[in-house]
Amino acid sequence: MLIRNVRVWPVADAESCRELGPRIGGASGRELADVPVTDVRITGDRVAERAPGLRAVRGEDEIDAAGGTLLPGLHDHHVHLRALAAARASVEAGPPHVRTADGLASRLRAADAAAPPGAWLRCVGYHESVAGPLDRWALDQMLAGRPVRVQHRTGVQWVVNSAAVALLGLDACDQPGVERDAAGRPTGRLWRMDGWLAGRVPGVPPDLAAVSLQAASFGVTGFTDATPGAADDDLAALAAAVADGTIAQRVHHMAPAHLSAAPRGRLTVGPVKVLLDDDTLPRLDEFGGQISRAHAAGRPVAVHCVTRVQFVLTLAALEAAGRLAGDRIEHGAVIPAECVRDLRGLTVVTQPHFVAERGEQYATDVAPGDLPDLWRLRTLLEAGVAVAAGTDAPFGGADPWHVMRAATRRPANIGPGEAVTGAQAIGLFLGEPTAPATPRLVAPGQPADLVLLRCPPLAAARALDSDLVAATLVGGEVVFARDV
């Protein structure tokens, strides 16, 4: 394939690779406007040449980019693929789709009327602003005759109604995540029990092909799946879906330290995911030991940090265990200003769109002292911290361009000084899977995982819209095309 009349960005060559990071972060409007037009040849699954005036060879497809932009394909550095596929077939139970208890009850009853007898209702995105803390009895008031499960938008909790309690046998269940009231009765609240539920609740197979196609339309050529506790069978199933084309993108998957890190085709094994919950925080020596064991297996860690105490404990545990290249902070929702300097050598994979999607709840739910430290971005970049972004879909919106726009448009009440430029926002999705803040290049010898935009770089950095995606290529193959 020969792509003609295209503006390759970020602008870099072998001599300037070391300057690429700072140049992405500080790219001015003039620099974006001055990106020259060139041609790019793709041979097999690699970029073969990049130079103006390339001549077509026999049998080569040609695309005239008409001055558009060619980027490395976007990589979503934190996503949950199977949960995202399942969410597409679920009932939305929280803002902005549902805002009141009556609204939720109406949705449940409408879904009940449309579902076949005996089928479970799976609901996602719930927040307490809709109807307060849910339990089995509150759900029974809305819908009692069919098993219902409702996931909190954080992903840490499911709530089931009494019909589901009976089918799951929760009265006799000894799992620690089953919450009980003072009388010992299950409340219907299940904490961190996704895998347990998945093995007991019937459902339709998740449509991973639809997830892949939508992501390709956004220009996404790779995912880092951050689902915790992946088993060998989970990795094998996803590797098979990548191999047979169900998932067109490359997949980098977090996995426990005992699993083999050997690549499985276009599925590679990434860091060891460590989940933290404030109510069950490990002792410092236990946490440090967990990190040390991962490092001993040659694997970095990716620690889920969404509160101040989780963040501070993580830094202390990493200090005790030592740091390994590739260690990550997932989310970094609350980062105290005095701790920013301690992040050197770590990567923060953040979700700036949560400020836009959840700002209304943050303003009332988050402690005033934490608001200035919420979802830092510009502060981290200016301090030289390695930063990348992921959508966290389905717990956040799946469109990375929405994430980029949110990164440039912080609300006045939640860290307006943390906004970044459009070029910086795009750069959050251009990193290597194993080094998320190290930009990939459109250069000879590099994988032909590319996204072609219908406008020059300056216009793209201003608009930050997925409608600009004209084509997406993975390994030199077109997996999405709009107007080419």
Q: Which CATH architecture has domain 90-198?
A: Roll (3.10)
The CA–CA distances, whole Å, from 281 to 86, 229, 276, 413, 447 equal: 29, 17, 6, 30, 41
- Say which CATH architecture domain 75-82+206-439 belongs to: Alpha-Beta Barrel (3.20)
Q: Where are the domains of the chain?
A: 1-72+442-484, 75-82+206-439, 90-198
Tens digit of pLDDT for each residue in 360-370? 889 888 888 88
Two structure tokens written together for 426 = 């795009």
Per CATH, the homologous superfamily of domain 1-72+442-484 is Urease, subunit C, domain 1 (2.30.40.10)
pLDDT given for residue 218 in this prediction: 98
CA–CA separation, 406 vs 252, rounded Å?
25
> Is 70 exceeded by the pLDDT of residue 15?
no
Query: Which tens digit of pLDDT belongs to each residue from 234-265?
Result: 999 999 999 999 999 999 999 999 999 999 99
Report which secondary-structure segment, H or E, holds 169: none
136-163 residue pLDDT tens? 999 999 999 999 999 999 999 999 999 9
pLDDT (0 to 100) of residue 37: 96
Q: Under a CB-based contact definition with an 8 Å cutoff, are residues 135 and 186 in contact?
A: no
- Cα 463 to Cα 381: distance, rounded to the nearest angstrom: 22
Chain segment 174-218, per-residue pLDDT in tens = 999 999 999 999 999 999 998 899 889 987 788 999 999 999 999
* Euclidean distance between CA atoms 95 and 274, whole angstroms: 28
Residue 392 has pLDDT above 90, yes or no: yes
Of 357, 436, 402, 369, the residue nearest 96 (C-alpha):
357
pLDDT at 21 over 90: no
pLDDT at 410 over 80: yes
Which residue type is seen at 131?
A: A
Task: Please state, rounded to an integer, the average pLDDT across all residues of the chain.
Answer: 93
Residue 23 has pLDDT above 70, yes or no: no
Tell me which H or E stretch contains 301.
strand 301-305
Task: Tell how strand 469-474 and strand 450-453 pair up.
Answer: antiparallel
Which among 96, 93, 91, 87 is positioned nearest to 361, based on CA atoms?
96
Confidence at residue 27, expressed as pLDDT on a 0 to 100 scale: 59
pTM for this entry = 0.91
Residues 6+ apart with CB under 8 A from 180: 186, 187
What is the rounded average pLDDT of the residues 89-115? 94
CA dihedral 316, 322, 328, 331 (to 10 degrees): 0
Residue listed under structure tokens 């295209």: 6
Residue 126 is predicted with a pLDDT of: 96
CA–CA dist 81, 393 (Å, integer): 8
pLDDT score for 464: 97
Task: Tell me how far apart the alpha carbons of residues 259 and 228 are, in angstroms, rounded to a whole number.
Answer: 13
